[in-house]
Amino acid sequence: MKTDRLREFTFTLTYDEGEDPVADMYHSHPNLEALTIDVTTGRTSFVRLVQLRGPPEVADRLQTVLEDRDYLPRAIGTDRCCGTSTSYRLECAPRQRLIYVYVEDICDCQSVYNIASEHLQRGTIIERRQHDGRERWRLLMRSDEAVGELFEHIETACRNGVTVEAGQLGEATEWHGDAFVDDELTGSQREAVAQAAARGYYERPREVTVGELSAELDIPKSTLSYRLRMAESKLVKRYLGRYTDAETDDALGS
């Protein structure tokens, strides 16, 4: 049996501050992030997995905001979406929440989900990463014949304060939703790697040492070094995990 690859289309939505209560949570808390994966089951329903990561008190507030909005599609137009949802908590750790949601009876509103379900086939996977007021979307679909019309529809539907920028269109060569199953970096590890990268620690030659970076961040050198080692270990293992044994042997031999 021949197995074809799915097609993927990516784009980014940006919300101005004060434009959307959910987006404002990410504007106000840079350490907060969410990954949402929707599987379309029809024009008016979908199955959703929501993963929230961030400081416990902030994740609590975001979860409350989402529950108040019933985990429904978020309108990019002027009218709010309506429908019903049932949610189940799969994981509830201090810094990470995983929720399963079934949404149905979605009304006809201007949301990415509604537009995608109108133009694309049932079974499309919609992945969304939210951080710092931006939403990075990835659609996995069997055919990309209607992508042009889909993007034009999204662009037209966006209200003032919401902007969209097209990304790439092509074959889906890997799964980006591994955050649901892999060991993730903790908040302190992500922050350590981000600060190190921003200050040139990973440049060649290095622009800052661990000692200098720890002094700038007011973190003990041993603590910072440990966070960087743990983060780098997880990232390397995840990267190598994308290869089969044969591919790994080829990579090591090259």
Q: Kindly state whether residue 35 falls inside one of the protein's structural domains.
A: yes
Residue 249: pLDDT above 50?
no
Same domain? For 92 and 130 the reply is: yes
Same domain? For 207 and 118 the reply is: no
Residue 231: what pLDDT? 81
Residue 181: what pLDDT? 47
Same domain? For 16 and 141 the reply is: yes
Same domain? For 144 and 206 the reply is: no
Q: What is the 8-class DSSP label of residue 79?
A: S
Q: Give bridge partners of residue 100 from the DSSP assignment.
A: 49, 88
Same domain? For 160 and 200 the reply is: no
Which residues span the domain enclosing 209?
187-243
Q: Kindly state whether residue 253 falls inside one of the protein's structural domains.
A: no
Within its chain, how far is the Cα of 241 from the centroid? 20
The closest alpha carbon to 151, from 103, 116, 192, belongs to 116
Pairing of strands 125-131, 84-93: unpaired
Same domain? For 90 and 115 the reply is: yes
Average pLDDT over every residue of 242-249:
45
Residue 69: pLDDT above 80?
no
| pLDDT-wise least confident of 37-41, 113-117, 236-240 | 236-240
Both tokens assigned to 231: 């983060």
Residue 94: what pLDDT? 73
Same domain? For 105 and 154 the reply is: yes
Same domain? For 125 and 196 the reply is: no
Residue 252: what pLDDT? 47
C-alpha–C-alpha distance, residues 91 and 88, integer Å = 9
Sign of CA dihedral 47, 51, 57, 61: negative
Same domain? For 204 and 164 the reply is: no
Average pLDDT over every residue of 139-167:
94
Question: What residues contact residue 48 under an 8 Å CB cut-off, 6+ apart?
Answer: 36, 37, 38, 39, 71, 100, 101, 102, 103
C-alpha–C-alpha distance, residues 87 and 77, integer Å = 25
Q: What is the percent of the chain with per-residue pLDDT over 90, rounded to a whole number?
A: 34
Q: Give bridge partners of residue 166 from the DSSP assignment.
A: 11
Number of Cβ within 10 Å of residue 213's Cβ equals 23
Residue 245: what pLDDT? 42
C-alpha–C-alpha distance, residues 112 and 119, integer Å = 11
Q: Kindly state whether residue 249 falls inside one of the protein's structural domains.
A: no
Number of structural domains in the chain: 2
Same domain? For 26 and 146 the reply is: yes
Q: Kindly state whether residue 248 falls inside one of the protein's structural domains.
A: no
Q: What is the pTM of this model?
A: 0.68
Q: Kindly state whether residue 251 falls inside one of the protein's structural domains.
A: no
Average pLDDT over every residue of 29-41:
87
Same domain? For 49 and 125 the reply is: yes
Residue 178: pLDDT above 70?
no
* Interval 109-130: pLDDT, tens: 999 999 999 999 888 999 999 8
Same domain? For 26 and 54 the reply is: yes
Average pLDDT over every residue of 15-25:
88
Q: Kindly state whether residue 182 falls inside one of the protein's structural domains.
A: no
